[in-house]
Amino acid sequence: MAWPFPRIFAHRGGGVLAPENTMAGLAAGVAHGHNAVEFDVMLSADDVPVLMHDASFGRTVAGRGNIALLPASALVKLDAGAWFDAAFEGETIPTLADALAYCRAQGVFMNIEIKPAPGRDKRTGEVVAAAARDFLKTLAGGRGGILLSSFSAVALGAARVVAPDVPRGYLLHRLKAGWGARLHELECVALHCNHELVDAPLMEAARSREVGVFCYTVNSLKRARELKAFGVDALCTDRIDLIRSDFFAERNS
């Protein structure tokens, strides 16, 4: 397939330069010249989509708790920046609406990973897909766009029902038997995979199915160049300071 999306995505917004899945992270990606970002979304207790990777507190949010058990009004007051650096203390958990508004204003393309808390796969897929569908209606030919992805086939299936026209990618950390059939079933346009899985046979299999190959998380130029030589379509990186948005256009890179 001819890849219609950006080719370099800033992982979780700011990669190694800012706290993940925050507005500061998104701004860091933009500040380093990236026009495409990847971030994770899960649901609060009252079904509001928020940017978060971990269902439980303790890593990026201090203390004990669970995203799926608190309303959005409480979540958006929590500090999601101090863990990264004192300079980001007070950086809070953003809602998906916050991120969409920022990316619209900046003309940034988004890979939104649907990241359901345990047991909330279907509902998370539905809510995130509906938000993506409604957002795309507002672009009216402007810059930006959305590619949904998820490790959860249930979430992707729900997204397909709610927003069939929003493109989807199937995330895999390890290849599973029948992955090609599942991609076809979910009507995905891309395989989003651990970059360690990429080799010539995988690329041949993807091409035979007419799907793109999007790799995560590539943090060295050496590996990025190897993947480029294999013919991958896109990648996301934490090293947004090292792997630039025009990497695929560079000669001898």
Find, among 89, 95, 88, the residue nearest to 67 by Cα: 95
126 three-class SS: helix
Of the residues 32, 34, 53, 195, only one is catalytic, namely 53
Q: Are strands 212-216 and 234-237 parallel, antiparallel or unpaired?
A: parallel
* Residue entry with tokens 């397939």: 1
* Rounded Cα distance, 115 and 113, in Å: 6
Please indicate whether residue 53 is annotated as part of the active site: yes
Please indicate whether residue 195 is annotated as part of the active site: no
Cα separations (Å) of 197 from 79, 168, 178, 188, 248?
Answer: 35, 20, 15, 19, 20
* Rounded Cα distance, 95 and 78, in Å: 12
Residues in the chain: 253
Q: Where do runs of H (alpha helix) occur along the chain?
A: 23-31, 72-75, 96-106, 121-139, 153-162, 179-185, 200-208, 221-230
Of the residues 11, 32, 34, 192, only one is catalytic, namely 11
Beta bridge partners of 150: 170
Report the catalytic residues. Answer: 11, 53
